[in-house]
Chains A and B, each alone.
Chain A
Amino acid sequence: MKAFLSKVLYFLKETVRGVGRHKSLSAATLVSTVASLLIFGVVLLVTANVRLAADQLERRKGIVAFIEEGISGERLAYLQSEIEKIPEVEAVTYVSKEEALEEFRQSLGTEEFLEAIDSNPLPASFDVTLKGGQRGADVLERVATLIEDMRSIEEVSFGGQWAARLDRLLRTLAILNVIVGVIVGIAVAFIVANTVRLTVLARKESIQIMKVVGATVGFIRIPFVLEGMLHTFLSAALALGLLYVAYSVVGYRLRDIAFLPPLFVGLFVVWGLVAGVVGTHFSLREVLSKSRE
């Protein structure tokens, strides 16, 4: 147990020393990995905001069902419950004639036009919101038809063609985003892995010496892997910090820009760590395979 603890302590010391001993190399690799991770962070930030914008646009997709005049409160409640029973429907909000007029008045911003009208010509309606993931143009049309067929519903509006166009736009955006994200993610992983590789190759001689004096591959590998992880973790933290500063300065001017959600922060750090570990692994394999085990 004592020997095990002593070895763990040795590995930790070696990891910290490894960074400390090669300050200039560490600083150069840190700059390089932070810069590339920052690019990845920007792509993730754009992705997160595109998703957010898409989600907001999708939320606007809904159905307005206009109700015939003069139906009883009982019938109104029944209609609302019937619409709510449709599986794709998330919420149904009743908008009375008075509320509709008030909304109209606010959207016009003037009273003059309304003063010319004696009575309220606007019908009462149900605003129907669909569940997330059920807002495609085809679903929208199907649900609209179902509602339209109900007795006491005069007319249904759901912006058919507009919804289909929005669907296509969002799909294209999502595909583009994934393609760019994957390309940048892979490129960044290569840069980080190669940068870590340089730090390993710079210590090729030390590795060969350790082999000659009887170090196992595992013994040689562990401090390098830990150092690679520490390095990329610090780089990821620094890149995130810089990204946040940039977001605070630029995002302040642009409205409705959100920072990376926790899932993306996790993805960002894990991606950096994986790239660091893979880089360490392959460069060590390259150095260790040059001579016999």
Chain B
Amino acid sequence: MVRFFHVTKIFSDRRVALSDVSFQMKDGELLFVVGPSGAGKSTLLKMIYMEEVPTSGQVIVGGFLSTTISPDKIPTLRRRVGVVFQDFRLIHDRSAFENVALPLRISDRFLGTEIKERVMNALSKVGLCHRRNSLPRELSGGEQQRVAIARAIVNNPIVLLADEPTGNLDFGVGREIIQVMCDINAAGTAVIVATHDERIPAELGCRIAKIREGRLSELRGGLAI
């Protein structure tokens, strides 16, 4: 479902972000990519939603190939990939409901009542139905991240990507957020979490891939390479 074939990414300033990275993830898997800042975690995730393209090698996501995908197909790919960021990236002047509804409104497939059902369903998965009318500024950091997760899963993505989702949260709230992601994974969605903090995945006994200076190493838990 997500495959990296000898992916190398060198930026215009000649910085090597990823170096010969290869791995494969199947449906429903959960993977933690752990490494210090600047190790290449965010670049690896950006390759999956094709914000970045490899300098060499190839990324395949749900049938979309990084080498052949046309610009007009990228939005279609992104509708099948949910993304959560460290800074939540919610639209500040829209309610939690409207933020979650955004991917559905973008799509041609959903109408009013179905949008409402799906949004409420996603909000209930993160335990925030009661805050649906709140604006992001009225929510705590943990709640904002839950809204961001609900937005990422409302379209039933093939994979949920989380880039340092606990980076702006204290340890306890961070653990709750990771638990929400584990629950989403348990319901069948593949999840990739990039984090610098190894404690939570280690505590939960999840599979970990370590990344350092753009190289993936120390894969634990049966991840195929």
Which residues of A are at the interface with B, using a C-beta cutoff of 8 A?
Answer: 2-3, 6-7, 10, 21-22, 205-206, 208-216, 219, 291-293
Contact = CB atoms under 8 A, between A and B. Distances in A.
B93 interface: yes
A6 B109 CA distance: 11
B108 A7 contact: yes
Given A212-B89, A213-B106, A292 B52 contact: yes
Contacts of B75: 211, 214-216, 219, 293
B193 to A, nearest CB: 17
Contacts of A216: 72, 75, 106
Contacts of A208: 89
Interface stretch (B2-10, B76-84, B214-222): B76-84
B106 A6 contact: no
B111 A10 contact: no
Nearest to B78: A214
Contacts of B108: 3, 7
- The listed residue with most B CB atoms (<10 A of its CB), out of A6, A213, A292, is A213
Contact of B107 (A21, A22, A214, A293): A214
Nearest to A213: B103
A212 B106 contact: no
Contacts of A293: 71-72, 74-75
Contacts of A10: 105
B78 A291 contact: no
Interface in B85-111: 89-91, 93, 102-103, 105-111
Given A2-B111, A10-B105, A21-B93, A292 B53 contact: yes
7 contacts: A2-B111, A6-B111, A209-B89, A210-B106, A211-B78, A213-B78, A292-B71
B41 interface: no
Contacts of A292: 50-53, 71, 74
Interface string B141-172: 00000000001000100000000000000000
B49 interface: yes
A6 B106 CA distance: 11
A213 B111 contact: no
A212 B45 CA distance: 12
A216 B106 CA distance: 8
Contact of B83 (A2, A212, A215, A219): A212
Contacts of A211: 75, 78
A149 B35 CA distance: 103
Given A22-B93, A213-B106, A292-B71, 13 more contacts: A3-B108, A210-B102, A211-B75, A213-B79, A213-B102, A213-B103, A214-B103, A215-B106, A219-B75, A219-B106, A292-B53, A293-B71, A293-B74
B112 interface: yes
A164 B193 CA distance: 84
A7 B104 CA distance: 11
A211 B81 CA distance: 12
A118 to B, nearest CB: 93
Contacts of B91: 205-206, 209
Contact of B111 (A3, A205, A206, A291): A3
Given A292-B51, A292-B52, A214 B79 contact: yes
Interface string B96-134: 000000110111111110000000000000000000000
A191 B50 CA distance: 36
- The listed residue with most A CB atoms (<10 A of its CB), out of B72, B76, B91, is B91
Contacts of A22: 93
A291 B75 CA distance: 13
A209 B89 CA distance: 7
B154 to A, nearest CB: 9
Nearest to B90: A209
B51 A213 contact: no
A9 B82 CA distance: 26
A6 B112 contact: yes
- The listed residue with most B CB atoms (<10 A of its CB), out of A2, A3, A208, is A3
Contacts of B93: 21-22
